[in-house]
Amino acid sequence: MIRKALASALLAGFGIYGAQALAADNEVNIYSARHYQTDEALYGNFTKQTGIKVNRIEAKEDELLERIRNEGANSPADVFIAVDASRLANADEMGIFAPVKSKLLEERIPAHLRADNWFSYSTRARVIVYNKDMVKAEQAQTYEGLADPALKGMVCTRSGSHPYNLSLGAALVQHDGAAKTEEWAKGIVANFARAPKGGDTDQIKAVAAGECGIAIANSYYLARLMNSTKPDDQAVVAKITPVWPNQKSWGTHINVSGAGMLKTSPNKAAAVKFLEYLASDEAQVYFADGNNEWPVVASVKVSNPALDKLGEFKADTLPIQKLADTVGEAQKIFDRAGYR
C-alpha cells in the first residue's frame, strides 16, 4: 500500500512536470511572423534531425504579441520569431523572453548581432535608390544627405512610424546623436515629394516613375524586383540606381530577422535546440535565402543573383542591443519632427 501510494504521488508530480519534460523531447511551438516557402524546409529538416515536431502559428508581429499577452502564463508558445529589431525590442520590453545561454550560439553568431534575450539569424540592409535623371550620384551617398535642402520635393519614404524607419532612426541616434537626428528628421519631412505612404517596393517604383527622385528601402525588396522575370519589374530596376549608403563613415544600416525563447515556454529544451538549429549551416541558408537576406554566420554563403550583383559593402556593426534600446527614442524624435 505504501509503495502504491508513493507511486501515485510520483505520477501526480509528473502530471505537472513529466508532461512538459516529455513534450520537450517531442515538440516545439513556434509563433512566427515569417511566412516564406523556404521555411517549410527549415522546419521539416529540424524535425528530421531531432525528431522534434514543429507546431507553428504564423501571423503579423503585433497579432502574435497580443496573443502571447492574452495567453499569459498559459501560452503554449516556445519561440517567437520576428523580422525587425524594433519588433523584437518591443517583445523584449513586454518581458516575454527568457535569456538563453548557449556556447554554440555564442560561437556562431557575432556578438554585435546577439541581444540580451534574443538572437539575430539573418541580416538585411537599408539602401538608397535614386533616379539618375533627377538626382546626382553625389547627393545619394549617405542617409544624412537625404535631409539636404537641395533635395527638396525629391524624397519618398514609407511612414516614419514603421519599424524599418524607426530602426534606421535609432542607428542615426547612436552614430550622430539625438539632436542631429532630430534635425535630420525635420529635413526629411521638408524634402518630401509626397506624404509617406505604401511599402518599400512602392518607394522604389515611385523613384522609377519619377514621382520622387530618391528613396530608402530594405535590400530584399530591391532584390525581389531584380530577381523577378516580370517585364514591369525589370523596367523599374532599369530606371533606378541603388547605393550602399555611408560607405565612408559608419557603414550601411543593418537590420535583422531574429528569435527568442519565451519565459513561459513549456518545452524549453526543444526551444533551445531549435534556436541552435537556426544557426546551423543548413538552416542559415534557408533562413536567409527565404527573404533575399544574408546569413549571420560569416562562414555560410548564400548564392542570390541580385545580392551578388549588388556586391559587397561596408555594413554597420552597431550592436543590435543598442539599436533595439534606442528605437523608443527614435519614435519620439520622429513624432516631434512630424515624420509620421
Binding-site positions read: 35, 220-221
Cβ atoms within 10 Å of 259's Cβ, excluding its own: 26
* Residue 253, all three cell numbers: 544600416
Q: Which DSSP state fits 316?
A: P
According to DSSP H, which parts of 51-197 are helical?
A: 61-71, 85-93, 103-108, 163-176, 178-190
* Closest listed residue to residue 131, CA positions, set 185, 204, 44: 204
**Torsion over CA: 253, 259, 260, 262 (sign):** positive
Backbone angles phi, psi at 215, to 5 degrees: -155, 170
Q: Name the binding residues for Fe cation.
A: 35, 220-221
Tell me which residue has cell 531584380.
Answer: 226
At a CB cut-off of 8 Å and minimum separation 6, what does 96 contact? 65, 68, 80, 260, 262, 263, 264
What are the cell numbers at 30? 513556434
Which residues contact residue 60 at a Cβ distance below 8 angstroms, ignoring those fewer than 6 apart?
A: 33
The amino acid present at 283, given as its one-letter code, is A
* Residue 65 Cα distances to 84, 92, 236, angstroms: 14, 10, 36
* CA pair distance 296, 187, nearest whole angstrom: 33
Query: How many helices and strands (H and E) does the chain possess?
Result: 15, 10
Instruction: Name residue 243's beta-bridge partners.
Output: 128
